[in-house]
Amino acid sequence: MKALIALEDGRTFACRSFTGHGEAFGEIVFNTSMTGYQEIITDPSYSGQMVTMTYPLIGNYGVNYEDIESCRIQVSAFLIKEYQEYPSNFRSTGTLRDYLKQEGVLGIEGFDTRALTRHIRDKGAMRAYISTSDINPFSLTEKAKKIPSMVGLDLAKRVTTGKPYFWSEGKIQPCPESVDDLNKSVWRKKKEILSVVAFDFGIKYNILRCLEAAGCEILVVPASTSVAAVRSIEPDGIFLSNGPGDPEPVTYAIDTIRALLDYRPVFGICLGHQLLGLALGGKTYKLKFGHRGANQPVKNLLTGKVEITSQNHGFVVDTGSLSPEHIETTHINLNDNTLEGFRHRKLPLFAVQYHPEASPGPHDSRYLFNEFVELMKNA
């Protein structure tokens, strides 16, 4: 089915839909991972974005319900070079096409994904509109220009959980209390293992799996959970999750984090890294086209080792905005020298911009979850 991609700068790409009629819009970005498309499309950090895969053949191993990273598909549209209609994998329970159609997400193929990627790389990530019904380039370009910019957009409130829940035995377990009714008696294994309150700004399931594997009892709470609620729960540690959008408008979370800086050990990932940086007085800015893929080289300045990491972010903390008297840079991106990790020199706080839980990607950085556990034990 014929379709058209129109970018806000007027560049268009003739393509076709492999999921039927539909329209989609959002910021258009690219991901360089060769595998892991199911984890990518269900990652809440992609909310409000249309993802283009640089690897040309997608769909060849189908989909299954063990590899999802959230309760639904999060991307606005999924763009690929060539859809593989007949999956071949013993874990497959269905096709990518059916999965996208089931959730009403547009799947696009049959265009030069390399040309689009090069254009985004040169001009930057931008707004775009895709349609199978309106294939007038001028009309679609005007629609693209009217899409809200990612800068200044709080998307954490769109993807966060509405009520608290436990993560146990690899799945969501209901919590009978509301956020306002929570107290320290909520913990089921308080005397046995460490307890962690995880702020959900768009948390991935594999982060929760890794925290559980490291020996934590995890209570996931909404992004807007108050300082008083956290203190009444009395956790051993606080985790700040990944998530989509611009960190600066998430002022309610920044204020809460700032008030909890000297309360318990804190570990942040991705958006959590940015929010912690802002709470510590830093600033953030938008990257030209972001870091999205499973092959990003990061240098650990504490060990001198280079880690190959999985990443998905369009914003970054400005290294120069953090006080070197209080904050130590621990990780940098070797492609552009942007900040990938920091820790506080006195307080038990640290964060990384990349995804140590991977999904998809390498496991070079899994040690960070154990470091968080040690931080809580020592605190």
Could you list the active site residues? 270, 355, 357
- Grouping H, G, I as helix, E, B as strand and the rest as coil, residue 373 is helix
- Residue 310: other Cβ atoms inside 10 A: 27
Paired strand residues for 311: 293
How many Å apart are CA 97 and CA 105, to the nearest integer? Answer: 9
**Size (the chain), residues:** 379
Helix or strand or coil: residue 369?
A: helix
Distance, in Å, from the CA atom of 79 to the CA atom of 319, rounded to the nearest integer, reads: 33
Residue 230 exposed, middle or buried by CB count within 10 Å (0-12, 13-18, 19+): buried
d(CA 76, CA 259): 35
Give how far Cα 368 sits from Cα of 31, 285, 350, 373, Å.
24, 25, 10, 9
- For the beta carbon of residue 350, count every other beta carbon within 10 angstroms: 23
Locate 39 and state its tokens.
């984890």
Kindly state the helix (H) or strand (E) to which residue 271 belongs, with its residue range.
Answer: helix 271-279
Specify whether the CB–CB gap between 1 and 17 falls below 8 A.
Answer: yes
Cα(45)–Cα(113) distance, integer angstroms: 22
Q: Please state, in angstroms and as integers, the Cα–Cα distance from residue 290 to each residue in 30, 129, 231, 235, following that order.
A: 9, 20, 35, 34
